[in-house]
Every structure is written in C-alpha cells, then in structure tokens.
A = this chain, B = another copy of it.
C-alpha cells in the first residue's frame, strides 16, 4: 500500500508532532525526503515500549490491519533516526541490537535473571568520565555503560 503525503497526514504530523518536524529538518540537511513510511515508523516508535527491537516494528507492520511497511524500510529508517539523534542503540550481552528513544542521557542496569532494564543517571559518573577523557586528550561524543547483575526483586525471591 502506498499513500501520498497529503495535507491531512501532514496536519497530523508535521505541524503537531515535534519529533517529526525535527526528523524532517534532519532529512533536509541530507537532501532526503520525508515519506509516509518514515512518519508511520517514527509515530509507532513513540507509542511503543521504550526499549525495542527492529523485529518488534517489523512484526507490527506485517500484521494484517496495520499499514504494511517492509523490513528493508524499517531498518533503513532506524539508521536515519539514529543519525538524527532521535533514537539510540546498544547491545545487551550477546543479543541483538536494541533501540530506545532518546530522552535524557542515562545508563543501564540489566538484570540477568528477569531481563529488566533499570535506567539511572549520576552526575558524578559523567563528570569523572569527562575528566578521564581530558587526561587522555580524548574527545568523547558518547558512551555506553551497562551494569549486569541481579535486580532487587530477583534477589528477594528466595
């Protein structure tokens, strides 16, 4: 199914949805075009669980009743959204790449018993990281910090 980006759709997204406007601005800088598919994918990401797999989106857009978008387009769009700093990706252990919407920067604790992901942010950690980078003359542009172990709930079970 191919729909055109008519005024009604534009009215929903470009005017009212901040994220779509940001994404469109990003696309313009690279002479890329905003399509109906990109909008739908971004919209779906916004209503989904914060941490998701590409496969989650692919399945959604394969389900009868939902708009159909191909796996190729889903992957292409995820790359663009990451470049546009709207989403973020990271690996948990051996598994696949996971994505999350970018809100404020945070790090992760991952329970290897129940799989729960706890987000935290600590100013001291960030400051010290900055100091260490300065010592090495390293200009950081991002970092990932994942702590794995056992969450409080799983520890209490027993």
Contact = CB atoms under 8 A, between A and B. Distances in A.
A86 to B, nearest CB: 17
A55 to B, nearest CB: 16
A142 B148 CA distance: 6
A150 B142 CA distance: 10
Nearest to A89: B94
Nearest to A90: B91
A144 B145 contact: yes
A152 interface: yes
Contacts of A97: 94
Given A125-B125, A128-B122, A128-B128, A109 B140 contact: yes
A132 B120 contact: yes
Interface string A135-158: 011111111111111111001000
Interface in A86-117: 89, 91, 94, 97, 109, 111-112
Contacts of A133: 109, 147, 149
B155 A149 contact: no
Nearest to A154: B139
Contact of A118 (B109, B138, B155): B138
Interface of A: 89, 91, 94, 97, 109, 111-112, 118, 120, 122, 124-125, 128-129, 132-133, 136-152, 155
Given A109-B138, A120-B132, A140-B148, 13 more contacts: A94-B97, A109-B133, A122-B132, A124-B128, A125-B132, A136-B152, A137-B151, A137-B152, A138-B147, A138-B150, A143-B147, A143-B148, A145-B145
